[in-house]
Structure 1
Amino acid sequence: MTTSPLANPGATRALLETYGLATKHRLGQNFLIDNHVIEKVMDLAALDGSECVVEVGPGIGTLTLALLQDAARVVSIEADGELEPVLRTHALEHDNFAYIMGDALRVAPERIAEACGGAPEILVANLPYNVAATIILQFFQTMPDLRSVVVMVQKEVADRIAAHPGTKTYGGYTAKLGLYAGVTGRFEVPPRCFMPAPHVDSAVVRLDRHEVPLASEASDVDRICEVIDAAFAQRRKTIRNSMSASGFDRAALDAAFNACGIAPTARAETLGVEDFVRLAACLSGKWREDNE
């Protein structure tokens, strides 16, 4: 089992004191202090030693030190400048570790690939909860070689990620993420596993990129996301009314609904990702071209 020397309260406190650090709630910092959770994360990641792993929000490096044991290389992205001395020490002690200081949502994928020595294949991270959902989707969108994501997030975010059509937690975000990947693993993490203990429950989820893309061209993905946004813009309304209120022509909508077999009286949360793909194709005329 792969563990971390920092995944316990004593070691975490000692390191924080050594560097004169304190947790910052504004950055969503809650340090993991349970080695059992580290073991389960590593089991779910299932690294084979050949991967370059990208990590977001390494903090003091609790998960990082476990990743370095199993990965070929780890590149961590950290927004808190006060943590750089800790990460610098890790980099001096591990020649397969590099870090980038900055906002993960603003760091160019090319910069990450350069630090990795190639495109990263997997994201493994205890994500800052306030931006977790955005990071997951953006990384899948901007890093086509990223095949898997194993991340710790707030339980409510995990519920949204794994939601199925027809449930309250299923929404536009779930549908967009479903264009790229699907959930293949999950486990819960209680607040007692962190220092300080957060006021929310957490969960670790694994997503794997679809082997066969649901939309292969960027223009198709943009069109599908536009349809998803319009469909969920007023989720209490029928999909026809919600999309027309967002600017879609009613006649074009009716023709598309008829062509792809979707009831105009349906609500967005009842449609699966494949339904949105089909609807976007029908609205563009591409579905009719492909099926003539």
Structure 2
Amino acid sequence: MAELLDPKRVRSLAGRIGLRPTKSRGQNFVVDANTVRRIVQKSGVGADDVVLEVGPGLGSLTLGLLETGAAVTAIEIDEALARLLPETVAELQPGNAERLRVVAADALEVTTLPGPEPTAVVANLPYNVSVPVLLHLFATFPGWANGLVMVQLEVADRLVAGPGSKVYGVPSAKLAWFAGADRIGTVSPNVFWPVPNVDSGLVRIVRRDPPPTTATREQVFRVIDAAFAQRRKMLRSALSGLFGSSAAATGAIEAAGCDPTARGEVLAIEDFARLAEQLSTPVS
């Protein structure tokens, strides 16, 4: 079994580059090898996979993924961490070093990757940008089919929420365009350094085709954003800006087979797609 990071080694690596973890970049590093192996096991990643990891940090999860025989492409915004990661892998898992590629960049700005297209995404996503990053990875790299991400527990619950849930909202609906998602575990703050003040959740993701529609993804997402901008508003009021008036919105909503007095929180992604089709359809 390959060597993974422990608390002592994590602090030693941080000291080597003078790293002081910052909240602005959501830097909380996993220091427990058992947690890493649990995440990797639940991800189902194997030797045939090319894993895309965002925010590898000091390499805790990276080492666990490489241990499976998978290739790993890691995107790291912190240049010092990006330089250190290959050195860490070479020291602890020299036989696996050739299967690691590191991209020093902001994941939200990455549109191409070196090497083969990723088949899976496994990541401890920075809390402050987890949802935008996840949606960007879906839109930009269509080849990956499965994923497991660790995010703040509150975010995990939002990602997997279904229509009618109190926490169902923009993240839930937009993720549903790309994939199905389930929360499959929680992670204690105590396995991180520094220790965050929230639990984390593990979200399993399986990509699926979007609902059949003549609307574009951008149109559907515009409707989702408008529907939840003031989530207590009825749809006819929430969508009046998109359709030009409350009356026009009412006609479009009815044409889409929805209730104008309902709220966005009860609509499934298929409903939003039908509403988006009305954006380019004259309402009589």
Q: How high is the TM-score relative to the length of structure 1?
A: 0.87
Letter in 1 for 2:57: G
In the alignment, the residues of structure 1 paired with residue 3 and residue 278 of structure 2 have an alpha-carbon distance, to the nearest angstrom, of: 51
* Secondary structure class of the residue paired with 2:4: coil
Distance 1:229 1:127 in 2: 23
- Looking at structure 1, the residues matched to 252 and 2 of structure 2 have their Cα atoms a distance apart, in angstroms, of 53
Pairs aligned (count): 277
Q: What residue ranges of structure 1 are gaps of 5+ in the alignment?
A: 287-292
Instruction: Supply the distance in 2 between the matched residues of 1:194 and 1:3 (Cα, whole angstroms).
Output: 21
Which aligned pairs between 1:104-143 and structure 2 lie closer than 5 A?
104-108=107-111, 110=112, 112=113, 115=114, 117-143=115-141
The match for 2:72 is 74
Counterpart pick for 2:100 among 97, 100, 109: 97
Deviation per residue, 1:207-230 (Å, 9 max, x gap): 1111x332577x521111111112
1:14-50 residue CA offsets vs partner (Å, 9 max, x unmatched): 3333444332333221110122211221122101211
Residue 229 of structure 2 corresponds to which residue in structure 1? 233
1:47 alignment partner AA: V
Q: Answer whether contact 1:126 1:152 (CA < 8 A) is retained.
A: yes
Unaligned runs of 5+ residues in structure 2 are none
**Structure 2 counterparts to residues 198-237 of structure 1, below 5 A:** 198-210=196-208, 212-215=209-212, 220-237=216-233
Cα offset for 1:237? 1.0
**Residue 243 of structure 1: aligned partner:** 239
Give the Cα–Cα distance (whole angstroms) in 2 for the partners of residues 209 and 140 of structure 1.
9
Q: Distance in 2 between matches of 1:34 and 1:88?
A: 20
Task: Flag the 1:216–1:248 CA change in 2: closer, same or farther, 3 A.
Answer: same
Structure 2 length as normaliser, TM-score? 0.89
Q: 145-154 vs 251-260, which deviates more? A: 251-260
CA distance in 1, matches of 2:80, 2:157: 32
CA RMSD across the alignment:
2.2
The answer to whether structure 1 residue 149 and structure 2 residue 147 are counterparts is yes
Q: Which residue of 1 aligns with 2:4?
A: 5
Secondary structure, aligned partner of 1:75: strand
For residues 198 and 129 of structure 2, the distance between their equivalents in structure 1, rounded to whole angstroms, comes to 15
Q: Label 1:260 to 1:85 Cα distance change in 2 as closer, same or farther (>3 A).
A: closer
The residue aligned with 2:61 is 63
In the TM superposition, what is the alpha-carbon distance from 1:71 to its structure 2 partner? 4.2
- Give the share of equivalent positions with the same residue, in percent: 40
Give how far 1:79 is off. 1.0
Give, as a single letter, the amino acid of the residue that structure 1 aligns with 2:250.
D
CA contact (8 A) 2:147 2:204 kept: yes
Could you tell me which of 6, 13, 21 is aligned with 1:23? 21
Q: Which residue of 2 aligns with 1:175?
A: 173
Distance in 2 (CA, whole Å) between partners of 1:248 and 1:44 is 47
Partner amino acid, structure 2, of 1:5: L
Match of 1:51 in 2: 49
CA distance change for structure 1 residues 131 and 3 in 2, over 3 Å: closer, same or farther? farther
